[in-house]
Amino acid sequence: MRIVVVGASLAGVRTVEGLRRRGSDADVVLVAGEPGAADGVAVDRPPLSKAFLASPDAEAAPLTTREKLGALGVELVPGRAVDLDLGARRVGLHGGESVAFDRLVVATGSSPRTVPGLEPVPGVFTLRTAADAAAIRAACTEDARVVVVGGGFIGAEVAWTLRQLGRPVALVEPLPTLMVRGLGPELGAAMTRRHAAAGVDLHLGTSVAGLEGRDRVEGVRLTDGTRLPADVVVLGVGTVPETGWLAGSGLDLRDGVVCDEHLAAVGAEGVHAVGDVARWHHPRYGVDVRVEHWTNAVETAGVVAADLAGERAVHDALPYVWTDQLGGRLQVFGQVRPGDEVRVVSGDLDGSFVAITGGEGQLRGLVGLGAVKQLMPFRRLLLAGAGWDEALAAA
Amino acid sequence: MHVSVDLNVCQGHGVCHMTAPDVFELDEEDGHAIVMVDPVPAELEADAQLAADSCPERAITVS
């Protein structure tokens, strides 16, 4: 049995480690194509928009090394996958080589979106790899004027981090509040006010119309007519799953590789997907989801390693994401849906707090800032499927 | 199985407590993990390993 894992970021690396921990004696190959990384192995990404960006001395270590993989009996193949032949059971690599497999794990993650129509000019960055983060850090010199495009978790976190370093930071977001997809409108609005109070120059409800500057970026023009001077522009406008190399393979691709609850690709034999690239039927929610969070990468790797080792597992974990900003750690568990009710059950929205969210009598989400301990009882209730009234009673 | 937490690395996500509540408790103040049972009894070993895997800071060592 030969298992080939394509992608050497968190989900791929944890999959090969998990296989060995579960006693798999299969031949295991890790195809590693992280751009700009030694041997193609990615670093742990969460610090890249946090501590790494904030400290000139911070380093980012790869998630594994050739030596560590060798000790596990895992073959490291640096290279970028360019196509998949399911019939011949081979993955084609850039440069013409190919790798044969019996079982395939797709772990190619996602790539940052860019803004349509924006010409790539020096000074404009996306943030995904350690090389990206190092380039942004180097460009954000003491007097650099920064414009962040996109007010999701990454954009807001980058804006906060750079503002704390004293940089003048503007943020452009087409929606009226920051982090609305993750936090919902009410909590998003409260956190937006805190960004404004911290001196982030917010431009909400407007979009980027174009860039100024020829040899390097000098400014950003907005659709509302505003012109923002800029030395550095960071695009944080989401990601797209890395499935280009799977086009025409016969795999069902719909914003990710479509999988069942075991993360086995639907309609294909012996193919799994893990991490950002996997879309699966979530038993807890009864809908197909794709999740780009750190914990999801770890959990999916555990499920697939178990499945390949002959222990059937289901991926029904409670989603968890965190971001370091607003003077603490913001943690979100479960789902915050747009129309859901929000109740602050500990603290207040100007300081540390815990809020519960839900609807139709259900507790569906938890948001906490700087309140790990206070979150815990509610987290247990959420996991246990407790109702809204039960959660309120625990407040 | 032995389990330990490097408190210089732990950032208080609390994932370990959620994953293995019988092995890890959380500090009242900062949410740092506290090991409740060491050595870990056989029936909790799988939970402890899962908690170590799930720690965003890789602050947990099992041996």
Asked whether residue B61 is domain-assigned, the answer is: no
Q: What is the pTM of this model?
A: 0.95
Q: In angstroms, rounded to a whole number, what is the distance separating the alpha carbons of residues A173 and A215?
A: 26
Phi (first) and psi of residue B22, to 5 degrees: -85, -10
Chain B residues with CB under 8 Å of A376 CB are 14, 17-18, 26
Domains of chain A and CATH, by start:
2-111+239-308 (3.50.50.60), 114-235 (3.50.50.60), 327-393 (3.30.390.30)
Asked whether residue B7 is domain-assigned, the answer is: yes
B30 confidence band (pLDDT: 50, 70, 90):
confident
> Shortest CA distance to A159 belongs to which of A82, A243, A242, A236?
A236
Q: In angstroms, rounded to a whole number, what is the distance separating the alpha carbons of residues A197 and A205?
A: 18
DSSP A337-352: -TT-EEEEEEE-TTSS
Mean residue pLDDT of chain A comes to: 96
Q: What share of chain A is helix, strand, coil (3-state, %, to 5)?
A: 25, 30, 40
B18 confidence band (pLDDT: 50, 70, 90):
confident
- Determine if the peptide bond prior to B39 is cis (ω within 30°): yes
Q: Please name the amino acid found at residue A272.
A: H
In the predicted model, is pLDDT for residue B29 greater than 80? no
Chain B residues with CB under 8 Å of A46 CB are 56
Q: In angstroms, rounded to a whole number, what is the distance separating the alpha carbons of residues A378 and A343?
A: 12
**Is-contact A30 A77, C-beta < 8 A?**
yes
Nearest to A373 among B15, B26, B54 (CB): B26
Q: What is the CATH number of the domain that holds B41?
A: 3.30.70.20
Q: Name the interface residues of A facing B (CB cutoff 8 Å).
A: 14, 18, 21, 46, 294-295, 298-299, 302, 320, 322, 329, 331, 372-373, 375-376, 379-380, 383
Closest residue on chain A to B13 (Cα)? A372
B12 confidence band (pLDDT: 50, 70, 90):
confident
Q: How much is the CA Rg of chain B, to the nearest whole Å?
A: 10
Please give the C-alpha separations between residue A292 and each of A214, A225, A248, A300, in angstroms, as whole numbers: 34, 34, 24, 11
Measured between its terminal Cα atoms, the distance across chain B in Å is: 6
- What integer pLDDT is reported at residue A119 of this predicted model? 78
- The ipTM value here is 0.87
Tell me the per-residue pLDDT of A298-312, one tens digit each, with 9 for 90 and over: 999 999 999 999 999
Q: Which long-range contacts (CB under 8 A, 24 or more apart) does B22-26 make?
A: B22/B47, B23/B47, B23/B48, B23/B51, B24/B51, B26/A372, B26/A373, B26/A376
Q: Tell me the residue range of the domain where B39 lies.
A: 3-50
Q: In angstroms, rounded to a whole number, what is the distance separating the alpha carbons of residues A306 and A298?
A: 12
Phi (first) and psi of residue A75, to 5 degrees: -85, 125
Closest residue on chain B to A15 (Cα)? B53
- What integer pLDDT is reported at residue A251 of this predicted model? 98
Q: In angstroms, rounded to a whole number, what is the distance separating the alpha carbons of residues A217 and A339?
A: 39
Q: Is B28 on the interface with A (CB under 8 A)?
A: yes
**If you search the block for the tokens 């408190």, which residue do you land on?**
B7
CB pairs A-B closer than 8 Å: 43
State the smallest CA–CA distance between residue B43 and chain A in angstroms. Answer: 17
Nearest to B31 among A46, A372, A383 (CB): A372
Q: In angstroms, rounded to a whole number, what is the distance separating the alpha carbons of residues A265 and A279?
A: 9
Asked whether residue B22 is domain-assigned, the answer is: yes
Nearest to A379 among B11, B18, B56 (CB): B18
- A interface mutation test: which of B30, B54, B55 has the most A CBs within 10 A? B54
How does pLDDT run along chain A (395 residues), one tens digit per residue? 999 999 999 999 999 999 999 999 999 999 999 999 989 999 999 999 999 999 999 999 999 999 999 999 999 999 999 999 999 999 999 999 999 999 999 999 999 998 887 878 999 999 999 999 999 999 999 999 999 999 999 999 999 999 999 999 999 999 999 999 999 999 999 999 999 999 999 999 999 999 999 899 999 999 999 999 999 999 999 999 999 999 999 999 999 999 999 999 999 999 999 999 999 999 988 899 999 999 999 999 999 999 999 999 999 988 999 999 999 999 999 999 989 999 999 999 999 999 999 999 999 999 999 998 899 889 889 988 999 999 999 98
Could you tell me how many residues make up chain B?
63
For residues A297-324, b (16+ Cβ closer than 10 Å) or e, as one string? bbbbbbbbbbbbbeeebbbebbbbbbbb
- What integer pLDDT is reported at residue A118 of this predicted model? 82
User: Is the model more confident about B18 or about A349?
Assistant: A349
Asked whether residue B15 is domain-assigned, the answer is: yes
- What integer pLDDT is reported at residue A115 of this predicted model? 87
Please state the rounded mean pLDDT for residues B31-50: 93
B27 confidence band (pLDDT: 50, 70, 90):
confident
> Shortest CA distance to A206 belongs to which of A191, A192, A188, A222?
A222
Structure tokens at A302: 């555990």
Asked whether residue B21 is domain-assigned, the answer is: yes
DSSP A307-333: HHTT------PPPEEEEEETTEEEEEE
- Consecutive H or E run containing A249: none
DSSP B3-61: EEE-TTT-----HHHHH-TTTEEE-TTT--EEE--SSPPGGGHHHHHHHHHH-TT--EE
CA atoms within 13 A on the CB side of A29: 21
**Is-contact A319 A181, C-beta < 8 A?**
no
**How many domains in chain B?**
1
